[in-house]
Chains A and B, each alone.
Chain A
Amino acid sequence: MDLVSAVLDGILLGGLYALFGAGLSLIFGVMRLVNIAHGDLIVLSAFIALVLTAHLGVHPLVSLVLVVPLMTLLGYGLQRGVFNRTLGDDILPPLLASFGVSVFLQNALLKIFSADSQRLHAGNLETLRVDLPGGMAVGVLPCLMFFVAVFVICGLQLLLYHTQLGRAFRSISDDQETAQLMGINNAHLFGLAMALSLAIVSIAGVFLGIRTNFDPSIGPTRLIFAFEAIIIGGLGNLWGTLVGGVILGVAQTLGARINPGYQILAGHIVFLTILTLRPQGFFQRTR
């Protein structure tokens, strides 16, 4: 039963990792940009929510009403103002630029908030549990995280495969030059893709801040979890990213059951094993 409970917790944790990965996957898919600052932007969202909850006295989930639009606008501005200037045939300049943004964010957050651990307090939501058959119980918050992840991925799938904007994203992903011949303004679409990515990042950041302590330095490890979820699931497949997140989450919770110190290591070991045996991930790129 303890094992089943660990697996269940891992599945629900996978929702958070899927949220980490979905935004990163979108950016890489559309513009082949590996955003090294992705994890730090997740942490930035948590800090923005912290400020809003402290000053406005609102619940962290209510703060999303402001955090999401703020991060969306930041995403568009960051892409148009910084990353678009680096995009070209060489993959190195955008990588270096995102690394620079990562360093800047970490140091700016350190300067403003210090290195102290912070937490977003969600009141009863943090401890509410639902009883399941067999004497098990699951947290309401992890369930909410998971269902929000599924909802976000459904929304992304609908956008990418049933709207003209989604077709434009996929066209640019296939062939940037020919996409221009369709009348697509690539610079603007890249901005929209980053805006959408950071909207997802902001949701992930608030959930992260409720679930665990955070500080300016934890961004890079969130980036690694995002990568792992994408690679396990298969590049270019959003449902694969959800499955990848779940596999990672289950690996971590089972590792923690053996020994709390093994949690992160267990996730990395499973990731490396899958990468060795099936480097293309479990799911093919969705056409």
Chain B
Amino acid sequence: MTQSNLLETRRLVAFYGDFQALFGIDFRIERDETVAMIGSNGAGKSTFLKSIIGLVRAEAEAIYFDGEAIGGDSAYRIVSRGVSMVPEGRRLFPSLSVEENLSIGAYSKRKGPWNLEAVYTIFPMLKERRRAAAMALSGGQQQMAAIGRALMANPKLLLCDEISLGLAPVIIKEIYAHLERVSANGTSLIVVEQDIKQALAIADRVYCLREGRVALEGRPSDLTREQITEAYFGI
């Protein structure tokens, strides 16, 4: 693993019972980099993120984070090392208020620039509704709360799973503008997206998964529309 790589996967495989979802994924992301992962439904994108964060079991030597093998580690240990995730579907805690959802994001007590005030600075609307039930927010507001909650763990690496799902284009644009500010603050991002245009706009590099394998990898500026279409759809 090279020194500049924050995260690296080597021949990463993943299974759900007997069903194999990932077939030997080689992946890397450097510090301060934003990498997008695109692919159709069922390509293995979310499984890839879940393998990194420890929700899906991986071989110990298949994932390296900040120089250490983390494959097979429990999710709470990986979070304490500095990886945080915005899960697909937001998955805010319905019993908790907006502020309580943000606060529980700091459970691992990692030190860093992100605290309630910092999150409220980039998402001022959350401060206005901090005492509201989390599920009373609109979809876009919930997505901001989910991002804020993940930032409260002060991650070195933030995993974003389909954050544009179900949101209006203008809201998606706003959220990605916020993510760029997060990235500018020194947090590396892995963004899983079905919205190819948005993914290519934000990313330094792109991976395309198809049927659990890397079908394409490169810089957005180096990839043609035809290459992406072929990798995405396999045609």
Q: Which residues of B contact A164 (CB under 8 A)?
A: 103-104, 106-107
8 Å CB contacts to A: which residues of B95-136? 95-97, 100, 103-108, 133
In the complex, are the beta carbons of A170 and B93 less than 8 A apart? yes
A173 CA to B104 CA, complexed, in Å? 13
The verdict on A178 contacting B87 (CB below 8 Å), with A183-B107, A183-B153 known, is yes
The verdict on A181 contacting B84 (CB below 8 Å), with A164-B104, A167-B104, A171-B104 known, is yes
A170 CB to closest chain B CB (Å) equals: 5
B75, B96, B150: the one contacting A171 at CB < 8 Å is B96
In the complex, are the beta carbons of A287 and B79 less than 8 A apart? no
A176 CA to B54 CA, complexed, in Å? 14
A230 CB to closest chain B CB (Å) equals: 17
A175 CA to B55 CA, complexed, in Å? 13
Interface residues of B, CB < 8 Å — how many? 28
Q: Is A168 an interface residue (CB 8 A)?
A: yes
In the complex, are the beta carbons of B93 and A171 less than 8 A apart? yes
Q: Is B91 an interface residue (CB 8 A)?
A: yes
Q: Which residues of A contact B106 (CB under 8 A)?
A: 164
Closest to A29 in B: B95
In the complex, are the beta carbons of A287 and B95 less than 8 A apart? yes
- Type the 1/0 row for A179-198, where 1 means its CB is closer than 8 Å to any CB of B: 11111111000000000000
Q: Is B85 an interface residue (CB 8 A)?
A: yes
The verdict on A180 contacting B107 (CB below 8 Å), with A167-B100, A170-B93, A174-B96 known, is no
A177 CA to B74 CA, complexed, in Å? 12
Q: Which residues of A contact B87 (CB under 8 A)?
A: 178, 181
B79, B95, B103: the one contacting A181 at CB < 8 Å is B79
- Type the 1/0 row for B78-92, where 1 means its CB is closer than 8 Å to any CB of A: 011000110100010
The verdict on A181 contacting B93 (CB below 8 Å), with A164-B103, A164-B107, A287-B133 known, is no
In the complex, are the beta carbons of B55 and A177 less than 8 A apart? yes
In the complex, are the beta carbons of A183 and B108 less than 8 A apart? yes
The verdict on A180 contacting B93 (CB below 8 Å), with A167-B104, A168-B104 known, is no
In the complex, are the beta carbons of B76 and A185 less than 8 A apart? yes
Closest to B93 in A: A174
Q: Is B53 an interface residue (CB 8 A)?
A: yes
B149 CB to closest chain A CB (Å) equals: 8
A167, A174, A183: the one contacting B94 at CB < 8 Å is A174
In the complex, are the beta carbons of B76 and A175 less than 8 A apart? no
A72 CB to closest chain B CB (Å) equals: 22
Closest to A181 in B: B85
Closest to B80 in A: A183
A175 CA to B92 CA, complexed, in Å? 9
A254 CA to B155 CA, complexed, in Å? 60
In the complex, are the beta carbons of B76 and A180 less than 8 A apart? yes
In the complex, are the beta carbons of B91 and A175 less than 8 A apart? yes
8 Å CB contacts to B: which residues of A128-187? 164, 167-168, 170-171, 173-175, 177-186
A171 CA to B94 CA, complexed, in Å? 8
B74, B84, B96: the one contacting A170 at CB < 8 Å is B96
Q: Which residues of A contact B54 (CB under 8 A)?
A: 180
20 CB < 8 A contacts A-B: A167-B96, A167-B103, A167-B107, A170-B93, A171-B93, A171-B95, A175-B91, A178-B93, A179-B93, A180-B75, A181-B85, A182-B107, A182-B149, A182-B153, A183-B107, A184-B104, A184-B107, A185-B74, A185-B76, A285-B95
Q: A178-B93, A180-B54, A181-B75 are in contact. List 13 more A-B contacts (CB 8 A).
A: A171-B93, A171-B104, A175-B93, A177-B55, A178-B91, A181-B55, A181-B84, A182-B153, A183-B79, A184-B104, A185-B74, A186-B76, A287-B97
Give residues in B with beta carbon < 8 Å to A.
Answer: 53-55, 74-76, 79-80, 84-85, 87, 91, 93-97, 100, 103-108, 133, 149-150, 153
The 5 closest A-B pairs by CB, nearest first: A183-B108, A183-B79, A180-B75, A174-B93, A178-B91
Give residues in A with beta carbon < 8 Å to B.
Answer: 164, 167-168, 170-171, 173-175, 177-186, 285, 287
